[in-house]
Amino acid sequence: MKKILPLLLLTAAASQFWACGADTRSPVMDKNVKLETATLAGGCFWGMEEILRELPGVEDPVVGYTGGSTENPKYEDVKTGATGHAETIQLHFDQAKISYGAILDLFFKMHDPTTPNRQGNDVGSQYRSAIFYHGEAQRAEAEAAVKRAQASGRWKRPITTEVTPAGKFWPAEEYHQDYLKKHPGGYTCHYVRD
């Protein structure tokens, strides 16, 4: 298991989003800013949340479950793999500060998109790699991001990331929210790869 690198030492692809070390996220949403939604699954949601919440323009990351058939799923059900849900992070972002494509490019650097239903020690369909798109523009960008990631040479095996329409998102239980903030040094299999 690898620990998440200190945020200031993340790869150049991630660090390009920081503005001279200043926190550019606004604690109060500007009513004139139109936020878009991104919904991503790439293994245990704790580590994904830890990395993505630090990006400028990202607001309100929430971990939860999507992609399954059970209404209002709970962790105890999702962890069995029987509900069809994936552990997911849903966030809102300001397109003027960060693009959907940039978020997806980082997504493909922070998990292994070539291992179906697995990330590190976490095994099961709830740990699959998936992009749940909101609208046709996101679908097209997701498909382009998959192609960029495959062409990058970073991954020797084929990418298995699902690109599928977003359905109902169910927030996870409160103890999962901001888990690595509450438990520094807790388990994660996510880190940014060069």
Q: Active-site residues: which are they?
A: 44
CA distance 42 to 31: 31
Residue whose token pair is 């607001």: 59
- Supply the angle between the helices 100-110 and 45-52 in degrees, to the nearest 10: 130
Say how many C-beta atoms besides its own lie within 10 A of residue 3's C-beta.
12
Nearest to residue 38, comparing CAs of 108, 100, 94? 100
Tokens (6 digits) for 40: 């991503």
